[in-house]
Chains A and B, each alone.
Chain A
Amino acid sequence: MIYFDNAATTPLDEIAIDALRKYGVENFYNPSALYKEALENSRVLNAARENVLKILHGNGDFVFTASGTEADNMAIYGAKKTKKSRIIVSAGEHSAMLNPATDLLNKGYDVKFAPLNSDGSLNFDEFKKLLNPDVSFVSVMHVNNETGAVNDLSRLVKTVKSVAPDALVHSDGVQALMKVRVNLINTGVDLYSVSAHKVHAPRGVGGLYIKKGVRINPLILGGGQEKGMRSATENLAGIVAFSEVLTKYDKNFARDAETRKELLSCLRNAFINEMPEHVVLSPENSPHILMVALKGVRGEVVLHALEEYGILIGVGSACSSKKGINKFQSLLNLDDEHKEGIIRISVSETNTLAECAFFIEKLKECTAKLTEYKRI
Chain B
Amino acid sequence: MEKVILIRFSEIFLKGGNRKFFEKRLIDNIKESLKDFEYKFSQSQNRYVISDYDEDSEGEIIEKLKKVFGIHSVSAAAKVKTDFETIRKTALTFFDDTPLSFRVTVRRADKRVDIPSPVMAGEIGGDILEAYPGTKVNLSKFDKELYVDIRENGFTYLFTDKIACAGGMPVGTAGKALCLLSGGIDSPVAAYMMAKRGLQIDAVHFHSMPYTSEQAKEKVINLAKIVSGYAGRIKLYVVPFTEIQESIHKFCPPEYMITIMRRFMMRISERLALKINAGAIVTGESLGQVASQTMQSMTVTNKVVEHLPVFRPLVGFDKEEIIAVSKKIDAFDTSILPYQDCCTIFLPKNPVIRPKPELIERAEKTLDIEKLISDALNNVEIIDLNP
Contacts and interface: CB of A to CB of B under 8 A. Distances in A.
B257 A376 contact: yes
A322 B209 CA distance: 18
Interface in A16-35: none
A308 interface: yes
B338 A375 contact: no
Interface stretch (A42-50, A148-156, A298-306): A298-306
A376 B258 CA distance: 12
Contacts of A300: 213, 340
B132 interface: no
B210 A304 contact: yes
Interface residues of B, number: 21
Interface of B is mostly: loop
B211 interface: yes
A375 B210 contact: no
Given A324-B339, A376-B349, A307 B210 contact: yes
B134 interface: no
B154 interface: no
Contacts of A305: 210
A323 interface: yes
B136 to A, nearest CB: 47
Contacts of B339: 324
B346 interface: yes
Contact of B246 (A322, A373, A375, A376): A373
Contacts of B245: 373
Contacts of A307: 210
A324 B337 CA distance: 9
Nearest to A372: B250
A182 to B, nearest CB: 35
A376 B254 contact: yes
Contacts of B257: 376
B348 interface: yes
Given A300-B213, A301-B211, A304-B210, A375 B340 contact: no
A211 B252 CA distance: 65
A53 B52 CA distance: 62
Interface string B189-226: 00000000000000000000111111000000000000
Interface string A285-329: 000000000000000111111011000000000000011100000
Interface in A317-369: 322-324, 366
Listed residue (A305, A324, A370, A373) with the most chain B CB atoms within 10 angstroms of its CB = A373
Interface in B77-91: none
Nearest to B213: A304
B83 to A, nearest CB: 55
Interface in B337-355: 337-340, 345-349
A16 to B, nearest CB: 28
Contacts of B254: 376
Contacts of B338: 322-324
Interface string B292-320: 00000000000000000000000000000
A372 B245 CA distance: 12
Secondary structure dominating the interface of A: helix
Q: Chain A contact residues (Cβ within 8 angstroms of B): what range?
A: 10 to 19
A305 B347 CA distance: 19
A370 B349 CA distance: 18
Interface in B232-260: 245-246, 249-250, 254, 257
A288 B273 CA distance: 51
A323 B348 CA distance: 23
B340 A376 contact: no
Contact of B211 (A304, A308, A376): A304
Most A CB within 10 A of own CB, among B211, B213, B338: B211
B260 to A, nearest CB: 13
Contacts of A373: 211, 245-246, 249-250, 346
Between B210, B211, B212, the greatest number of chain A beta carbons within 10 A of the residue's beta carbon is seen for: B210
Contacts of A375: 345-348
A279 B337 CA distance: 30
Interface string B14-52: 000000000000000000000000000000000000000
Nearest to A324: B338
A324 B340 CA distance: 9
A366 B211 CA distance: 12
Contacts of A323: 338
Contacts of B340: 300, 324
Given A302-B210, A373-B250, 11 more contacts: A300-B213, A301-B210, A304-B211, A304-B212, A304-B213, A373-B211, A373-B249, A375-B345, A375-B346, A376-B249, A376-B254
Interface of B: 209-214, 245-246, 249-250, 254, 257, 337-340, 345-349
20 contacts: A300-B340, A301-B210, A303-B210, A304-B209, A304-B212, A304-B213, A304-B214, A307-B210, A308-B210, A322-B337, A322-B338, A324-B339, A324-B340, A372-B250, A373-B250, A375-B346, A376-B249, A376-B257, A376-B348, A376-B349
